[in-house]
Amino acid sequence: MNVSSLFEKVQLGDLFLPNRIVLPPLTRCRSTQPGNVPNELMASYYKQRSTAGFMVTEGTQIEARGQGYAWTPGIHSEEQIEGWKKVTNAVHESGGVIFCQLWHVGRVSHCKLQPNGDAPVAPSAIQAKSVKVFIETGLGEGSLVEPSMPRELTTEEVKELVNLYRQAAKNAKLAGFDGVELHSANGYLLNQFISEHTNHRTDEYGGSLPNRLRFLKEVTEAVIEVFGRNRVGVRFAPLFATTTEDRVYLGLVESNPHETYICAAKMLNDLGIAYLSIAEADWDNSPDLPETFRSELRKTFERAIIYAGRYSVQKALTVNSKGYGDLYAFGRAFIANPDLPYRIQKGLSLNQVQNDTLFGGGEAGYIDYPFSTQLST
């Protein structure tokens, strides 16, 4: 298999990356408690994987209300900013590039994760179904539970959230990140505003598709003010089908997903952001994105496009050969193979993921996966 096209230099915003291989955002729940603070263990994890052409952190909540899973890191306190500096310094010392994924789960949360045990916040008071959230039940222990009923944000609160995203971007810059990615996928807050299923508002943030895209537009403009358009990306999960498979996260299927996400892509193209990240359906036997969508997206969005979602090397090569994408993310493979680009380039076998150590814990199943050079000595 000729993989040379995955090792071509590629432009993302004003950055020139050494290869097309991406470490995507992967929730691992290893932050220090209390305070959801990034730590030395996380710095080691990201440093190990810094031969990726491009890296995006795990979802990082922009405020305390933005958390939907125990032990995920934040970017809203001084302690968290200092913790992330350990990560960015480690990655930069190894020559890597890393963006912070700014995350707010909105309604996909539980009262036990919210300040003062309050209800989660959302565009509309509609409870999330078919997904789970993770709450702490004891020291280092937790369980998956149904999300709580959310309350609807006021118009003024929506505008305050735009400012919270702006502040989170400022915090990310202080922490040394090269840029930020807005998590607008998988049924979380930004996605909730876009979706006809979760946004029943009657103010300027609800109703028509342009109105439902308004919050994303204002948030994107806010973080561009901080980092500049060349250092901002947005992630979508444009689902064209769903599943009954038991899921922690999923997403929302619009009545016309093609129109919804092409319209969103055009808006973001006009704002001039550096890239779109497209998270494809990733459950067992999930359908591929329609070719018509890939083609239209490529015509609509003029800058870099990242594809993710159970990608194999062969699938990345195929999509790349058709000109639909620019970079390709390998999630589970990168968890288990810190030197994944080298293994792909040399055609080496891959370590398999340990499913029981994906979320929470310490070094095991996190920074102890062997490098190929370790296996050969």
Tokens coding 343? 């293994």
Tokens coding 324? 């639909």
Side-chain half-sphere CA neighbours of 205 within 13 A = 26
Q: Would you state the pLDDT for residue 375?
A: 62
Residues with Cβ within 8 Å of residue 98, at least 6 apart in sequence: 46, 50, 55, 56, 57, 87, 88, 91, 92, 177, 178
3-class state of residue 375 by DSSP: helix
End-to-end, the C-alpha distance of the chain in Å comes to: 26
Which portions of the chain are predicted below pLDDT 50? 377
Count of C-beta atoms within a 10 Å radius of residue 24: 26
Count of C-beta atoms within a 10 Å radius of residue 156: 8
Superfamily of domain 4-331: Aldolase class I (3.20.20.70)
Tokens coding 155? 């118009």
165 is annotated as an active-site residue: no
Tokens coding 76? 């809203």
Q: Would you state the pLDDT for residue 377?
A: 45
Q: Would you state the pLDDT for residue 32?
A: 98
CB 287 within 8 A of CB 281: yes
Q: Would you state the pLDDT for residue 30?
A: 98
Q: How far apart are CA 95 and CA 117, in angstroms?
A: 42
pTM score = 0.97
Which of 15, 18, 11, 17 minimizes the C-alpha distance to 345?
A: 18
- Condensed to tens digits (0 to 9), the pLDDT of residues 326-375 reads 999 999 999 999 999 999 999 999 999 999 999 999 999 999 999 998 66
Q: Would you state the pLDDT for residue 245?
A: 64
Q: How far apart are CA 329 and CA 23, in angstroms?
A: 6
Q: How far apart are CA 210 and CA 13, in angstroms?
A: 26
Residues with Cβ within 8 Å of residue 238, at least 6 apart in sequence: 257, 258, 260, 261, 278, 289, 293
Q: Would you state the pLDDT for residue 147?
A: 97
Q: How far apart are CA 358 and CA 363, in angstroms?
A: 11
| Catalytic member of 45, 46, 188, 366 | 188
Handedness of CA 169, 175, 181, 183 (dihedral sign): negative
